[in-house]
A and B are shown apart, each in its own frame.
Chain A
Amino acid sequence: MTSTLAILLVCQLAGELVARLLRAPVPGPVLGMLLLFVVLSARPRTSAAVENGAQALLRHLSLLFVPAGVGLMRYGPRLRAEWLAISLAVVASTVLTLAVSAIVFEAVARAQARR
């Protein structure tokens, strides 16, 4: 478990440094993910050290969004003033994005499989 956390934090730190040095529009943890993927590909043995810990962390991924979710309470006044526009836009756009992405994915995957 500690080896997992050490590896994850080293990758995140490296990602943060690269993002800052290159002024990349990508957050450090996303670069850290790419970095860990490269490490795993280059040295498959690392996989054993991170597998269980990473899976334990990902199993509880939704818990990690709770503090940010509670942050919604700070926007009471604006959300109340523009509630209709905001809720319609968020709900409809989320539904459309989900549907379009999944439909296009499946359509292209099928077309590819047929060939």
Chain B
Amino acid sequence: MSSVARIWVYLSATPLLWLTATLVAFQAGAWIFARAHHHPLANPVPIAVAVLIALLSATGTPYETYFDGAQFVHFLLGPATVALAVPLYQHRAEVKRALLPMAAALVAGAIVSIVSAVVIAKACGASPETLASLAPKSVTTPIAMGISEQIGGLPSLTAAFVIATGIIGAVLATPLLNLLGLRDWRGRGFGAGMAAHGLGTARAFQVHPLAGTFAGVALALNGLLTAILVPLLAGWLRGAY
């Protein structure tokens, strides 16, 4: 609570209604998460998002009005991404030792992510625009939006898919990885960052600092590789839709 308060201090000198609502909704989500004994299915992000969407719909408030207040929270994503360098630096020895497993998981994960999303959606009859918007869904929003635009998708729709992917990845990561019997914090975190970018990374930091560090590395590397792969695969992808 006290560090949320500290973040609040620099968030804004002019507290706005929707900024307050965002923090209160997240605190409510965090409270439910704690009450549920940190069960992964009670992730505070989808709870806060659902509460806020319900509130905005009930009051007939457009998203743009909401974002005028919430942008102060949104803005901190940039500095937070830069801040990932700190755990990366602290764990640099472990990261350096794991270069080979990271490279293998990076290539395999990036290809699986792009191809499976497009193939499954195509098989279910999604429109071409939806397919192109889905291809970069596992990478961080600004990279994904740029890729989407380049291959004929809708950048803002891609942003929605990226967030949905992140929420699903953050919720499912712990149960899925437990089910698979994987115990290596490095690999678990790397998988979460590969599949669910920043939200997977946030979840990984909740579980273990080493998992969070590797998730941050995966987020950055997958962003780079997907930016290269999707345009290269675009010919094949276009054949698919």
Interface on A for B, CB 8 Å cutoff? 1, 4-5, 8-9, 11-12, 15, 25-30, 32-37, 40-41, 47, 50-51, 53-75, 78-79, 82, 84-86, 88-109, 112
Neighbour of B81 across the interface among A4, A29, A103, A112, CB < 8 A: A29
Asked if B53 lies at the interface with its beta carbon under 8 angstroms from chain A, I say yes
A30-B81, A82-B130 are contacts. A67–B73 as well, Cβ < 8 Å? yes
A70/B124 in contact, CB under 8 A = no
Task: Return chain A residues, CB-CB under 8 Å to B161.
Answer: 86, 90
Known: A30-B220, A47-B86. A97 touches B163 (CB 8 A): no
Does A94 contact B165, Cβ atoms closer than 8 Å? yes
Q: How would you classify the secondary structure of chain B's contact residues: helix, strand, loop or mixed?
A: helix
B82 touches A101 (CB 8 A): no
Interface size in chain B (residues, C-beta < 8 A): 117
> In the complex where A70-B49, A96-B116 touch, is A61 in contact with B80 (Cβ < 8 A)?
yes
A104 near B104: Cβ-Cβ < 8 Å: yes
Nearest neighbor of B228 in chain A, beta-carbon distance: A25
Stretch at the interface among B2-10, B34-42, B232-240: B2-10
Chain A: minimal CB distance from B66 (Å): 6
B67 contacts chain A at the CB level, 8 A cutoff: yes
Given contacts A70-B52, A106-B101, 4 further A-B contacts (CB under 8 A): A50-B86, A60-B4, A78-B157, A98-B192
**Minimum C-beta distance from A93 to chain B (A):** 4
B105 and A104 within 8 A (CB): yes
Binding site for A on B (CB under 8 A): 3-4, 6-7, 10, 22-23, 25-26, 43-46, 48-49, 52-53, 56-57, 63, 66-67, 70-71, 73-74, 76-90, 92, 98, 100-102, 104-106, 108-109, 112-113, 116-118, 120-121, 124-127, 130, 134, 137-138, 140-143, 146-147, 156-157, 159-161, 163-170, 172-173, 176-177, 180, 182, 184, 186-188, 190-192, 194-196, 198-203, 205-206, 212, 216, 218, 220, 223-224, 227-228
